[in-house]
Amino acid sequence: MSQGNKIRFFITGATGYIGGGVLARLLQHPQRANFELTVILRSAEKAEKLRTSFGVDAVVGSFADLALMERLAEKADVILSMADADDLPAAQAMLRGMKKHFEQTGVQPIFIHTSGTGVLSDTASGMYATDEIYSDMNPNKFDSLPPTQIHRHVDLEVIEADRQGYLKLYLVYPVTIYGIADHALAKAGIANPHSIQIPALIQASLSRGQAGMVGLGRNIWHNVHIDDIADLYIVLYDAIAANPNALAHGHDGIYIGENGEHTMYEVGKALGQAMVELGKATNPEPTTFTKADIDKYFGGSDYLGVNSRVKSERSRSLGWKPKKTKADFLASIKPEVEALIAKPGQIQLK
């Protein structure tokens, strides 16, 4: 898997919420001295910080530079893909690079790709819960998902690459991630400390002066703390490094990260209570977003009203032990509200 004594990593999304947490852990990994860490990012300023303060080879560039993405992937023994799960051209460029790597070395590179349980989205619009639960121990159930589902077109492309045999693919499926990241890269202003879904809900609710939800908020999502999901990537990598032939990969290599589930009504209720306590609302009860609200705040998408229920049985079989629970998730909402009040318009939800 390596050339000489070094294991060469190529990491996408290193300045993002998930990727920053994973990179921070790689920097503290017991095998750090044996890692060559390369990342791609748009900011020359952040790249310089990564080079000088953290010893990371930071390449300034864009995922749209497909030739660059291919070259960086070609050099890598391990790729951690933690950026846009729907960027098919970027994924295809990395696949071309990994195929060249295999043709030149005869060694299959490791591809840990981030998808997401949004791929399971239904049309509930907040009006009902579902009994449909997907386990990472039952990959065949995912075969029923149409290719039009969010993330699925990229998932199918990378699964096919594994089937062709020139790489080993491991698909990580995070759920709703929460918590304000406080690792070294976040503190240095390099990595985004905030998630997307809950802060977006908070922003919309603050703007309208009352907590909101899609429909009646009866739909169910799972949740996982940012520290726990970042740990999963390291547990997975360590398991691959220890015995690459023992782990399920490709079509069967699904690793879900979850540790609790919630209804969106429960989220709205916790958000409404936090807004009242902080003087941003007078009624803690969440109300249904109007069509105008959904158009204004969510680009017309009612994704906050879908169901997405899962079990992370395969991930736990690796020894992954998430610590934060649903209670921690609901308790995390008020600090996120406070952060968004303190920095209105400054927190990037992407």
Per-domain boundaries in the chain: 7-342
Q: Is the pLDDT of residue 192 over 80?
A: yes
Mean pLDDT in residue range 45-70:
97
- pLDDT bracket for residue 344 (50, 70, 90): confident
Mean pLDDT in residue range 114-132:
96
CATH of domain 7-342: 3.40.50.720
Per the CB < 8 A criterion, the answer to whether 90 and 69 are in contact is: yes
Mean pLDDT in residue range 127-154:
96
Q: Is the pLDDT of residue 149 over 50?
A: yes
Q: Is the pLDDT of residue 1 over 80?
A: no
């919420």: which residue's tokens? 17
Q: Is the pLDDT of residue 348 over 60?
A: no
Q: Is the pLDDT of residue 158 over 50?
A: yes
- pLDDT bracket for residue 346 (50, 70, 90): low
Tell me the pLDDT of the chain averaged across its residues: 96
Per-residue model confidence (pLDDT) at position 233: 98
Mean pLDDT in residue range 306-317:
98
Q: Is the pLDDT of residue 185 over 80?
A: yes
- pLDDT bracket for residue 315 (50, 70, 90): very high
Per-residue model confidence (pLDDT) at position 244: 86
Per-residue model confidence (pLDDT) at position 266: 98
Q: Return d(Cα 214, Cα 161) in angstroms, integer.
A: 38
Give the pLDDT confidence of 198-247 residue by residue, as tens digits. 999 999 999 999 999 999 999 999 999 999 999 999 999 999 999 989 99
Mean pLDDT in residue range 273-298:
97
